[in-house]
Structure 1
Amino acid sequence: MATLQDRLDHVLGVKAAERLSESFDMTTVEDLLRHYPARYATQGQPLTEEVPDEGAHITVIGRITKTELRPMRNRRGNLLKVHLDTGASTPIEITFFNGDKVRFLVREGARAMMSGTVHWWRPDRWNLSHPDYLILPTTPDGGIEQLTTVRGSGALKGLAQSAKGAGGIDASFFEREFVPVYPATAKVQSWDLLACVRQVLDQLDPIDDPLPADLREERGMIDVTDALRLIHLPEHKADIDKARDRLRFDEALALQLVLAERRHEIEGRTAPACPPRPDGIAAAFAEQLPFELTEGQQQVLGEISDDLSRTRPMHRLLQGEVGSGKTIVALNAMLQVVDSGRQCALLAPTEVLAAQHFRSLKTMLGDLGKAGELGADDRATKLVLLTGSMSASARKAALLDAVTGDAGIVIGTHALIQDNVEFFDLGAVIVDEQHRFGVEQRDALRAKAKEGVSPHLLVMTATPIPRTIAMTTLGDLETSTLTQLPRGRSPITSKVVPRKLHPAWVDRAWERIVEEVGQGRQAYVVCSRIGEDPDAPPAKGKKKAEEKEAPNTAAAVDLYEALKAGPLKDVRVGLLHGRLHTDEKDQVMRQFNDGDIDVLVCTTVVEVGVDVPNATVMAIVDADRFGVSQLHQLRGRIGRGKHPGLCLLITDMSPGGTAMARLDAVAATTDGFELSVLDLRQRREGDVLGSAQSGTARSLRLLSLLDDLEVITAAQELAREIVADDPGLVNHPGLATMVTAAVDGQRLEYLAKS
C-alpha cells in the first residue's frame, strides 16, 4: 500500500521515478496525483485542443480515412500522408517520413492513437510530423479487441508492451469512455503518466480528508480520496465535474488560508497613527492645487486618510488606469504622514522613474517642497533622491537627510533598501509598480521603521487587476481603484502596422511623426532591446555561437542612428536606454521634458511614470515582443496633454496568428481591465502568482482566477473564519497540510511574505 508522502522510487521503481523527477520534478506519490489530466478524450474525439500551439506535444485518437504515398523531394524514399478523423470539423493531417515502412500498418479504415509535435506550415493549417502511433484493432461493431500483438512505434508501442501480462496485453484503458490526457513531454508522454498513475492508485491507502465532513456535505463535495481517483480515472462526465469541484476548492482554500494568516498577522502589528491636520502641509497643498481632484481621487484619498489615522498598519493596493492620477493621491497621503512628524519612502523600479517622481513631486509642491531653502514656506518639507549611481557626495547628503529626519520624503530605487540607509522615523512606504519588486526587497524597506512599529504600506500599479485576481493574489490588501481619468486627458488611437505586408506603412509612420513635430509636438520610438554593448568582453565558445543568431529585432542604438540619418534627419532625435549613466539618462529626460528633443528613441525605461504632456505619438517597433499590459503601459505615455495621441504598433507578424490577434486586441480598446483579462488568458493565468519553474506544473492546476469568483469568494470567507479562531491552524492539522499540498510550496512562501 502507499500514502501520499511515499517516494515514487519506492512505489514505481527507480527508472520510472527518475524520468518523472527529471521531466516534472515529481518525487512523491502526491506530486504525481496532483499532476491532473489536462483534458479527456472519448472514443472518436480529439485528445487535444482544436487549435494547438506550434511545438505542442499532443496525442489524438481516431480513424484513418485517407492515406497517400508520395515521393520525397530532396532525398530517396516515400512519405505517407494520412488523414485522421477524430470527430472534429476537419481531419488531422499526419506525415510519416518512413512511408514505405509504415504504410502496411497505417491503412485506411484502421483505428489509431498518435502522439507527436504540432507543426504549423500555413497560417490556417497544421499537422503532426512522424508521430508515435499505436494501431487499435476493432471488432465489427466498433469496439476494441483484446490486444494480442502490438503494432505501432515509439512510446505508445512501449507502453502497450509494458502492460503485457500472463493473460495478454491490458487494453482496458483504450476501452474507457473517458481517457485522461496529461501535460507531457517528449521523454514522458501522456500514456507513460497514465500507466504510473494507475499503478499508484492501485496501491493508494485512504487519505485523511482535511475538510470537515459537515463542510463537504454543505457544499456537496466528495472526499479527497475519491476526488483524486476520479480526476484520473473517471467513468462518467459527472465524475470529472465532481472531482474538479472538490480539488478546485482545495486550491482556492489553500491560497486564502495563507492570505488570511497574513492579514491576521498584519492586524496584530502597531503602526504610527497619522491623522490629518487642518493646518498642515497637506491642507496647504490642497489649497494651492490649480485643478480639482476627480470624485474618484477624493474617495480613494479619503479611504487612505482613514487608514493612516489608525494604529493598525495600512496595507492597501491603489490601482488605476494609466494616467488616472495615482501619483497625486499618493502625494496627498505622504503629506498627511509628514504632518504627523514622520517620513515617507517612495520606492520606484528604475532610476528614470525615480528621477521623474522626484522632479514631478518637486514641481507639484513648489515652495512646499523647499524646506531648508531661503524663503521656503514654514510648513514645507524636503524631498531627496537616492539612487545607486549617484555621486558619493550627493549620496552622502541624501543619507544624512534621511537619518536626521530633515527629509520628509525620500524617493529612490533599490538603493533605499541597502543596509547603510537609515530613517529617523519612517511612517509610510509607497511602492510604485509593486509587481516589479521582490518580496524580500519590500520587507527590507519596511524593516527600516522604528523597532516595534510597522510603517503603513501603499502599493500602486497601473496594470489593472480583475477582482478575482486581486482576491487571490492580494487578498490581504484592501483595494482602491481609480477608474476616472482627470479632465484634460486626450483620447489615444492605436493602429497596427504590419511591416512585411505593407512596408510603405512604416515609411508613413515616420512621416506622421515628422508632421507632429512640425506642429510643435513630440514623439517616442520604443524598441525591445538596447543593442550590442561595446564595452562587453568578447564572447567565447557556445556563447559566441549563440550571438551569431542575434534576434531579428530593431535595437535602440541602431534604430537611433538609422532614423537620425534617414527619415527623421530634419528633427532632433535623442536616445534613452538603461545602459546609459544616470547623469546621461537624467539629461536626456530633461531635454525631452523641456522640448529640446523632438523624438526620443528608447527602450522600456519610459514604460511607467514618465509624463511629457506634449508627446502625442508613440511608435512601438517589434510590438509583438511586448506583452499586452506592457503595451498598454507604454501607450499611456502619450495623450497626457490637450492633443490626441496616436500609437503605432509596428510588427513583422503575419495576419491570422496569435501575436497579431494580441496586437489587434490592444489596438481595439484602451480599457485596461479588459486588456488585463486578455493578457491573463493568453498567459494561461494559472501561474499568475509568479514565474513558473522550468519543467514543473503551474501553481494553480484547476482554479481559474478569472472564472471562479464564487469558489474564491467562498474560500476566502471560510479561510478568514478559520484563521480568526485558529491563527496558526494548530487545531486544523489537515488544513495546514493542504496549504502546502494543493499549491506549489515556493509560491506559498512568496505569498506568505508579500
Structure 2
Amino acid sequence: MLGWRDERPLEDVLPAKDAHNITKALGYRTCGELLGHYPRDYIRHNKDVGLGDAAEGDIVTVTGIVSAISKRDTGRTTIINVQLDGNISATFFNALYVLGMLKRGMRVMLSGKLKFFRGIAQLQQPDFVVIDAFGRPSGELEPYLVPEPDSRQPSGKRSKKQQATGSLRKLSQFGRLDKLLLEREWIPIYPATSTVSSWYLMGAIHLVLSKTPSIEEPLDIDMMVGMDQALREVHEPPAAGPQRAIARLKYNEALSIGLVMALRHRDAQSRQAVALPAREEGARAELVAHLPFELTAGQRRVIEEIDADLSRTVPMMRLLQGEVGSGKTMVAVIAMLQACDAGKQSALLAPTEVLAGQHAASMSAAVPAGVKVVLLTGAMRVAEKRQALLDIVSGEADIVVGTHALIQDSVEFFDLGLVVVDEQHRFGVEQRDTLRAKTREGLSPHVLVMTATPIPRTIAMTVFGDLEVSTLRELPGGRHPIQSSVVPEWRPAWVIRALTRIREEVEHGHQAYIVCPRIEGEGGVLEVAEALSHGPLRGLEVGVLHGRMKDKDAVMNRFARGEIDVLVSTTVIEVGVDVPNATVMLIREAESFGVSQLHQLRGRVGRGGNASVCLFHTNASQESAAFRRLYEISQTTSGFDLAELDLRQRHEGDILGTMQSGTHRTLRLLNLAEDRDIIERTHEDAAALVARNPGLARELTKNLSDSEQEFLEKN
C-alpha cells in the first residue's frame, strides 16, 4: 500500500484460531494484508433494507418486521417459513431453533441467496440477526433467545445464548452486534470464501482497525482525504458513504504504478546514448527510395518520431503499437538502417525461432547491398552459431535478428546502438534490459519495442508508462479488411458451409487455418484433424500443429511453403510466420478465447492482398453474452476499438497478467476501463513528484507489496 505497510502478524491482534482461518482461506499473514482486502460492495443500512434490483442467485441482506411464522411437516422434513413485511419470505429446513428465536413483531436482518418462487422473493436457510423485539433494544433480547442446537462455540468470549445464526453469529466474537451492524449506515460486503464469510471478515477487520495506530500521510501534498481516514472509511464508511475513501485509495494504486514508471523514465533520461541522425545518403535513404510500395501517412509520421529520438543523446525508449500487418516491421528496418548508416549495430529480439527466421530472410532481401543481416537462434548448428557470434563481435553483422539466444552471456556486440523488441508482451523488462546492457560501457542503446496487440490508453499509461508511444492505425495499400462471421454450432448448415468455404479456397490455390482451443479430447486439434481429413476435407493435405510438438518450426515452414493445405492448430500460430497465401481461418469454440486473442488470430490471414475471411465457430446460445461478444468482434475490424471492448468486458488484471482470485490482485479498486481520469491525473502527478522529490518517490515505491513489485518487473 502506497507509503505504508503494517507488518504486524495477524495472530498478534486477532485470536490465534481466527488468524489461522484467514491465513488458510486468503493467504494473508499480516494486518496490512487484511486491511488491503477492500469491500467489493456496500449495503446502505436504514431501518429496513429491501431487495433493490437484486437478481436471482445474488447474496442479499434485507431487514424487516416478522409478520408471520408457519411450520409444516412433510414426514421427512420440517419446513419453517418466516414472512417479512414487504413480501419477502425466509425458508428454513429442520431448524426448530428458529421457532424459539423469532416471533411476530421482531425486526430482523437476514442474509442469504435470493430465489424467486411464483413471483415471491425467498431466502433459503439464511443467516439472521435479531435487531429488536417488540421495540426493545437488541441488548434486552435474552428472554426471547435460545441457543442453536448442537452449535459449536466459535473462538473468543460469547454469551451462551446467541442473537444470530451462522456467519452472522460468528460476527459477535469481534464485538457487539448492535454496534457492528445496527448502528452503521453502510454495511461492507467483502470478497469471501466458503470458509471465511463476509461477516466474519467484517468483524476481523473491525478489530484490527480498532488496534491500528493513526497512519501518517505519506505524500508531500495536501490531499482531500488523508491516508488514515481513507483506510478506515473504506471499511467503515460514515453517513456520507465510502466514495471519497475509494477515490483516494484508487489514486494510491494508480500513483504507485505511475511512480515506478516515472522513476524508470527518469533513469532512462539520465543515461547517455550515441546520437544517430538520419543521413541524406546511405542505406536508409536507398531503401526508402526504392520501396515497391508507398509508405502510409502513419508510417511516415512514426518514422519521423523515431528519427527525432535517434538524433538525441538521450536513449530512445519508444513503444510502437499497430494492427497486424500495419507495417511496423518496415518502420523498424528503416530505424535499424539509420543506425547502420551511423556505424552502429542493431539487434531485433523476436519471440519465436520461426518468426526470427522470417524476419532475417525478409530483411536480407529488402536491405541494400552491403548491409549484413545475421540470424542467431538456439536451434542453429554449432558451426553456424559460431560464425554468427564471430560476425556479431567483430562488427561484420550490421543487423542481428534472434530469439532469447541474443541475451545469453556468450553474445557480445561490437558496437550496439539500437535494440528492437518484437511482440513486447512476450518479453519482460529484465530481458529487455539484459539486451540493452550489451553496449559499450557508459552508454545505452536506443530501444524500440513493438506490439501487434493494440493497447488502451489507460493500459499504456500504467504498463508502459516509461515509454513514449507511437501508433499505426492504417493498413498499407492493397490490404483488404478481413470479412468475419459467426458460425453457431446450432446452425448445422452454417458449419457445413464454413468447411465448404475452406475447400473452395484451397481449390483456388489458397490455404487455411483451423484453430482449436485444446490439443486432445472432443474439439481438440488431434480429433478435429482426424475427422476432417477423413470427412469434409478428404483429399486435402491437412497438417497438425500444437505446443507439445518438437518439430513445430518444421511444420510451420511446410505450411509457409504451400506443402500443407489446411493447418489445424492451437494458438501457437498467434505469433508466427507470415503466410500470404492463407485466406481463410476457422476458429472453433471461439467463445473460449479473449477479444484481443481472437483479433490477433484473425490477423494471420489476409496478409497477401487477397480477400480473406475469418469464421468464429461457437457453441454459445444466441441469447448469451458470449455470443453477443463474438458478434461484436465480427462486426469490428479495428483492433483499437476491440482493445477498449476487451478492457470493458474483462477484469483489468486479466489484461495485466495478474492473479484473478479476487484476493490477490495488483489493482484491487482501480478500474482501468472506468477510472481514466484518475490514471491520467496520477500519470502527471507521478512525473511531478519524481521531478521535485525523487527520494520520496523511491521511498513510496519501496512500500509496494511483493506481488505488486513482481507485476511491475514482469511488465
User: So what's the TM-score if we normalise by structure 2?
Assistant: 0.86
Counterpart Cα distance in 2 of 1:147 and 1:626: 56
Q: 1:618–1:151: structure 2 CA closer, same or farther, 3 Å change rule?
A: farther
Greater Cα shift, 42-51 or 425-434: 42-51
The yes-or-no answer on 1:224 pairing with 2:241 is no
Instruction: Name which of 32, 38, 41 aligns with 2:40.
Output: 38
The yes-or-no answer on 1:574 pairing with 2:535 is no
The yes-or-no answer on 1:481 pairing with 2:471 is yes
Contact 1:686/1:705 (8 A) holds in 2: no
The amino acid across from 1:227 in the alignment is: A
| Match of residue 496 from structure 2 | 507
Quote the sequence identity (%). Answer: 47
Counterpart Cα distance in 2 of 1:65 and 1:143: 19
Secondary structure in structure 2 of the residue aligned to 1:647: strand
Contact 2:421/2:449 (8 A) holds in 1: yes
| Match of residue 565 from structure 2 | 598
| Match of residue 685 from structure 2 | 718
Contact 1:354/1:411 (8 A) holds in 2: yes
The yes-or-no answer on 1:262 pairing with 2:234 is no
Counterpart mapping for 1:400-549 below 5 A: 400-499=390-489, 501-531=490-520
Greater Cα shift, 127-136 or 426-435: 127-136
Counterpart Cα distance in 1 of 2:671 and 2:50: 23
Q: 1:562–1:80: structure 2 CA closer, same or farther, 3 Å change rule?
A: farther
Q: 1:215–1:171: structure 2 CA closer, same or farther, 3 Å change rule?
A: closer
Structure 2 gaps of 5+ residues are: 146-161
Task: Give deviations 1:335-388, integer Å, cap 9, x for gaps.
Answer: 1112222222211222232223223323433xx3xxxxxxxx2xx222222222
| Match of residue 152 from structure 2 | none
Counterpart Cα distance in 1 of 2:102 and 2:349: 64
The amino acid across from 1:193 in the alignment is: L
Secondary structure in structure 1 of the residue aligned to 2:659: coil
Greater Cα shift, 437-446 or 552-561: 552-561
Q: 1:98–1:290: structure 2 CA closer, same or farther, 3 Å change rule?
A: farther
Counterpart mapping for 1:132-147 below 5 A: 133-138=127-132
Q: 1:625–1:62: structure 2 CA closer, same or farther, 3 Å change rule?
A: farther
Shift of 1:128: 10
Counterpart Cα distance in 1 of 2:278 and 2:458: 33
Task: Give deviations 1:89-132, integer Å, cap 9, x for gaps.
Answer: x98x998675888799799998443346x99x9xxx9x999765
Instruction: Name which of 145, 169, 180 aligns with 1:157.
Output: 169
Shift of 1:293: 0.4
Secondary structure in structure 2 of the residue aligned to 1:173: helix
Shift of 1:594: 3.7
Contact 2:653/2:660 (8 A) holds in 1: no
Greater Cα shift, 169-178 or 192-201: 169-178
| Match of residue 751 from structure 1 | 712
RMSD (CA atoms): 3.7
| Match of residue 739 from structure 1 | 701
Shift of 1:144: 7.5
Counterpart Cα distance in 2 of 1:671 and 1:71: 63
The amino acid across from 2:128 in the alignment is: L
| Match of residue 649 from structure 2 | 682
Shift of 1:557: 2.8
Contact 1:560/1:575 (8 A) holds in 2: yes
Structure 1 gaps of 5+ residues are: 369-376, 532-551
Task: Give deviations 1:628-687, integer Å, cap 9, x for gaps.
Answer: 111110011122333332211122233444433432332231221222122223332156
Counterpart Cα distance in 2 of 1:188 and 1:151: 20
Task: Give deviations 1:584-623, integer Å, cap 9, x for gaps.
Answer: 4444334433433322212222213532233221101122
Q: 1:555–1:351: structure 2 CA closer, same or farther, 3 Å change rule?
A: farther
Q: 1:394–1:255: structure 2 CA closer, same or farther, 3 Å change rule?
A: same
The yes-or-no answer on 1:215 pairing with 2:222 is yes
The yes-or-no answer on 1:61 pairing with 2:62 is yes
| Match of residue 28 from structure 1 | 30
| Match of residue 527 from structure 2 | 558
Secondary structure in structure 1 of the residue aligned to 2:330: helix
The yes-or-no answer on 1:663 pairing with 2:630 is yes
Counterpart Cα distance in 2 of 1:469 and 1:455: 25
Task: Give deviations 1:489-538, integer Å, cap 9, x for gaps.
Answer: 11222222232x2344322211121122223322110122334xxxxxxx
The amino acid across from 2:170 in the alignment is: G
Counterpart Cα distance in 2 of 1:740 and 1:646: 50
Secondary structure in structure 1 of the residue aligned to 2:200: helix
Q: 1:290–1:99: structure 2 CA closer, same or farther, 3 Å change rule?
A: farther
The yes-or-no answer on 1:703 pairing with 2:705 is no
Counterpart Cα distance in 2 of 1:66 and 1:661: 45
Q: 1:566–1:720: structure 2 CA closer, same or farther, 3 Å change rule?
A: same
Counterpart mapping for 1:345-364 below 5 A: 345-364=347-366
Counterpart mapping for 1:200-349 below 5 A: 200-212=208-220, 215-216=222-223, 221-236=224-239, 238-349=240-351
The yes-or-no answer on 1:113 pairing with 2:75 is no
Shift of 1:465: 1.1
The amino acid across from 1:182 in the alignment is: Y
Secondary structure in structure 1 of the residue aligned to 2:575: coil
Counterpart Cα distance in 1 of 2:82 and 2:99: 13
Greater Cα shift, 563-572 or 638-647: 638-647
Counterpart Cα distance in 1 of 2:337 and 2:578: 21
Shift of 1:564: 1.3
Counterpart mapping for 1:72-91 below 5 A: 77-78=76-77
Counterpart Cα distance in 1 of 2:388 and 2:67: 77
Q: 1:338–1:80: structure 2 CA closer, same or farther, 3 Å change rule?
A: farther
Counterpart mapping for 1:359-370 below 5 A: 359-365=361-367, 368=368
Task: Give deviations 1:305-364, integer Å, cap 9, x for gaps.
Answer: 111122211111001122211111111111111222222221122223222322332343
Counterpart mapping for 1:380-419 below 5 A: 380-419=370-409
Q: 1:753–1:721: structure 2 CA closer, same or farther, 3 Å change rule?
A: farther
Paired residues, what number?
A: 688
Counterpart Cα distance in 2 of 1:607 and 1:571: 23
Q: 1:586–1:473: structure 2 CA closer, same or farther, 3 Å change rule?
A: closer
Secondary structure in structure 2 of the residue aligned to 1:60: strand
Shift of 1:175: 4.3
Secondary structure in structure 1 of the residue aligned to 2:419: strand
Contact 2:666/2:711 (8 A) holds in 1: no
Contact 2:215/2:227 (8 A) holds in 1: yes
Counterpart Cα distance in 1 of 2:359 and 2:53: 47
Secondary structure in structure 1 of the residue aligned to 2:222: helix
Contact 1:525/1:618 (8 A) holds in 2: yes
Instruction: Name which of 608, 612, 615 aligns with 2:575.
Output: 608
Q: 1:45–1:523: structure 2 CA closer, same or farther, 3 Å change rule?
A: farther
Secondary structure in structure 2 of the residue aligned to 1:407: coil
Secondary structure in structure 1 of the residue aligned to 2:398: strand
Shift of 1:295: 0.5
Secondary structure in structure 2 of the residue aligned to 1:332: helix
Contact 2:234/2:242 (8 A) holds in 1: yes
The amino acid across from 1:513 in the alignment is: I
User: So what's the TM-score if we normalise by structure 1?
Assistant: 0.82
Shift of 1:400: 2.4
Counterpart Cα distance in 2 of 1:480 and 1:670: 20
Counterpart Cα distance in 1 of 2:130 and 2:413: 73
Task: Give deviations 1:284-320, integer Å, cap 9, x for gaps.
Answer: 1112211110011000011111111222111110011
Greater Cα shift, 266-275 or 13-22: 13-22
Instruction: Name which of 600, 603, 608 aligns with 1:636.
Output: 603
Contact 2:544/2:568 (8 A) holds in 1: yes
Secondary structure in structure 2 of the residue aligned to 1:328: helix
Counterpart Cα distance in 1 of 2:67 and 2:544: 60
